[in-house]
Amino acid sequence: MITQFHYGTPVETFAVVEQVPLCDHEQLRHFTRKKGSPQSFSCQLGEDDIIYGLGETMRGINKRGARYISFNYDDPHHKDDMPSMYGAHNFFVVDGETAFGAFFDTPAKVVFDMDSRGDGVLSVSCESQDLRLYVVEGENAYDVVRQFLHVIGQSFLPPLWAFGYGQSRWGYKTERDVSRVIAKHEEKGIPLDYVCLDIDYMDRYIDFTINKRRFPDLAGYTAGLKEKGIHLVPIVDAGIKIEPGNRVYDEGVRSGFFCKNHEGTDFQAEVWPGMTHFPDFLREEVRTWFGEQYRIYTDCGLEGFWNDMNEPAIFSTEYRAKGTKPDVERGDPDQPERHIADFKDFFHRLDDGREKSNYEVHNLFGAMMTRASGEGLDRLLDKRYLLFSRSSYIGAHRYGGIWTGDNASTWEMLRQNVYHMPSLNMCGFLYTGADTGGFGGNSNRELLLRWLAVSVFTPLMRNHSAIFTKNQECYRFRQPEDFRTLVSLRYRLLPYLYSEFMKAALRRNMYIKPLAFDYPEDGKAREIEDQLMVGESVMIAPILEQGAKGRIVYLPEPMTEVRYGSDGFTCINVGAGERTVMAPLNQVVFYIRQGKLVPVGKPAANTAELDLLDVELLGTGSVYEQYVDDGSTKRCGLEHCVIRRREA
């Protein structure tokens, strides 16, 4: 059961798309509300209660014991005590003797204190007086999440090729660079579906431009790559360079589509191309205009994009010079170390006529950029496309996926990748993943192989690194055949992974879950955070410690242990309980639930070679419902499910 409560005059975030009953404030259960500024809500926790959710936040899957701040910002120095990241996902679930969830639907800053003092009190402080609160009650935590996923709408559905392996690096500057990367993957037999282009493909880092010296014939080059089953995925940033004569800039100024400053003129902020204006994405007409700009890419045959710098990230502004000490509100321990004044210096005009500073609606900016892009691409293309973003808010999951931002090449970030996946799924974001190998810093052979063993199971599987770091393409390391083995597993599992993703999205379910969601009565499963359920059949237990040759795995029930290496699949049936499992760097071990099946396909160089129907079945079950379509149609539905039966 879901109920809705209004306070003040809420800003329309478009996060919830289904009808939810509106209740009087006196009917609010689970929370005690304290009026004021900020207004706060609190509840008493049971001693053994677990708190799930909050999407893209640091620490483990259980969020109890820390403070989190919902305020999107760009900080690549991810630490365990970091309060905010790139996304605002204000939904959480309390799981104990009773289970309930809450979604604080406001684009302004929210502070979640999940019993950081250890006194059993959960408190939520909302800076804005204008918000919607949705309370969800269910039989257990998983039931609460499924109800919430139903009301926020169906996940974005990418094409099949978006589930392939992607290679990316800030530093691929020319057509020759990209061709060299593709040729090396072919030479070493490492499967590849797409290559991402960072800001260097643009003319002076200007959105919706192409550097003709570096990519003299992008349309022809794109067409040639498609014949080989390879796609290009360019980056698009949030700021439009101030440059009279540039068509996009001129149109935006002439139509009044940019955010305003205190004086009522177009706000100026420095990002990669220099001083820019920010489109006012909270207005429908601006979103329509911005989405149309992707035509320059779709006319070149491009069908995949990643949006960046849309928290928005700011280097300097017309009011604050570059290098100026951050204007942090002194005395407020909840304020992230960002240039807070920047967000108070520019303004949006909402469709209802109200004017709000970006600070008041800050968490919506990136989400509405994603919406603008997704709606534009829906109009421009007659097929599914790839779109993922850095900044987000619940609701953006209907228009695109996300990656978890500028992480680092550390074992802690690998562990965080595991923790993020189920938490993001709870908030609607099914198509997600981390920068495999880490974006900042220098990855090494061991870390990249262990990270690949995790990314095999996440919908977005992209190796991405920063300029001035050590190159971390798989073919650059000793014994590249080991990397080929792990990436090839991704393709052999795609008949299952694609099927489970599509079924989860169409049924508004989770794709990756904590163990406790499938084993709610198992006390041990409730404590485990480094093992995950992937779809209906698979459990993974990745190795996340440097130098480890194996690990202890807990099996809540008898399962089939599957080991994949250079010789293919090896399966044994094992009993429930704890077991020590060894896994060399060139092998991946995963588990199939009792009575379940996993369809696996033949090896492929990319998804264009993959036949989803040509599969063998692993596991002890007798029937599997497989989703199979052409990988690009927009007419997706459960009618594409077929039944696979194990031969007697």
**pLDDT for 462-500, tens place per residue?**
999 999 999 999 999 999 999 999 999 999 999 999 999
| Rounded distance between C-alpha atoms, residue 255 and residue 174, angstroms | 34
Q: Which residue has the higher pLDDT, 371 or 81?
A: 371
pLDDT at residue number 326: 45
Helix, strand or coil for residue 572? strand
Whether residue 202 is predicted with pLDDT greater than 70 in this model: the reply is yes
Whether the predicted pLDDT of 336 surpasses 50: no
pLDDT band at 38; cut points 50, 70, 90: confident
Active site residue 518: no
> What length does the chain have?
648
Averaged pLDDT of the chain: 95
Cα→Cα distances 310→96, 271, 279, 405, 497, Å: 37, 11, 11, 11, 30
Q: What is the dihedral of CA 616, 622, 623, 628, to 10 degrees?
A: 0
Residue 334, pLDDT above cutoff 60: no
- Check: CB of residue 431 under 8 Å from CB of residue 403: no
Of the pLDDT bands very low, low, confident and very high (cuts 50, 70, 90), residue 332 is very low
| Structure-token match 């190795």, residue found | 543
Mean pLDDT, residues 231-253 taken together: 98
Smallest CA-to-CA distance from 289 within 208, 388, 203 is with 208
Tokens of 302: 């491009």
Mean pLDDT, range 256-275, rounded to an integer: 97
Choosing from 127, 193, 308, 629, the catalytic residue is 308
203 is a catalytic site residue = no
- In the predicted structure, residue 54 carries a pLDDT above the cut 50: yes
**What is the model's pLDDT at position 79?**
82
Averaged pLDDT for residues 367-387: 98
Whole-angstrom distance, CA of residue 258 vs CA of residue 282: 11
- Check 198, 334, 345, 406 and give the catalytic one: 406
pLDDT of residue 66: 96
* Beta strands, E only, 38-130: 39-44, 50-53, 67-70, 87-88, 91-95, 99-105, 110-114, 121-126
Q: Is the pLDDT of residue 78 over 90?
A: no
pLDDT value of position 83: 86
With pLDDT > 70 as the criterion, what percentage of the chain qualifies? 97
How far, in Å, are 23, 57, 138, 145 from residue 99 at the CA level? 20, 21, 6, 10
**CA-based nearest residue to 492, from 642, 616, 633, 590:** 616
Band of residue 76 on the pLDDT scale cut at 50, 70, 90? confident
Residues 390, 405 contacting (CB under 8 angstroms): yes
Instruction: Give the model's confidence band at 338: pLDDT under 50 very low, under 70 low, under 90 confident, else very high.
Output: low
Give the number of other CB atoms < 10 A from CB of residue 329.
10
Alpha-carbon distance 158 to 142, whole Å? 25
Q: Calculate the CA 416 to chain-centre distance.
A: 13
Q: Return the closest-CA partner of residue 259 out of 368, 392, 336, 130.
A: 368
pLDDT of 329: 39
**DSSP annotation string for 287-348:** HHHHHHTTHHHHTTT--EEEEESTTT--SEESSS-TTPPP---TT-TTS-SS-HHHHHS-EE
Q: What is the pLDDT of residue 186?
A: 98
* pLDDT tier at 330, thresholds 50, 70, 90: very low
Q: Is the pLDDT of residue 335 over 80?
A: no
pLDDT at 81: 82
Tokens of 480: 């590249």
The question of whether 308 is a catalytic residue gets the answer yes
Residue 556 has pLDDT above 60, yes or no: yes
- At CB < 8 A and 24+ separation, what contacts does 574-578 make? 578/552, 578/553, 578/554
Q: First and final CA of the chain: distance in angstroms? A: 43
Assessment of whether the complete model's pTM goes beyond 0.95: yes
pLDDT of residue 390: 98
3-state secondary structure 516-562: HHHCCCCHHHHHCCCCEEECCCEEECCCCCCCCCEEEEEECCCEEEE
pLDDT of residue 327: 44
Give the pLDDT score at 130: 95
- What pLDDT is stored for residue 323 in this prediction? 61
Q: What are the tens digits of pLDDT across the range 573-597?
A: 999 999 999 999 999 999 999 999 9
pLDDT tens per residue across span 520-547 = 999 999 999 999 999 999 999 999 999 9
pLDDT at residue 207, as a whole number: 98
Q: Which residues pair with 277 in a beta bridge?
A: 240
Strands 432-433 and 401-403: parallel
Active-site residue, selected from the candidate residues 49, 198, 207, 311: 311
Nearest residue to 209 via CA among 195, 221, 199: 199
Q: pLDDT band for 331, please (50, 70, 90 cuts).
A: very low
Question: Is the pLDDT assigned to residue 388 strictly greater than 50?
Answer: yes
At 62, the amino acid letter reads N
Residue 322: pLDDT over 80: no
Distance, C-alpha 139 to centroid of its chain: 28
The sign of the dihedral angle between the CA atoms of 117, 121, 127, 132 is positive
- Alpha carbons within 13 angstroms on the beta-carbon side of residue 218 total 24
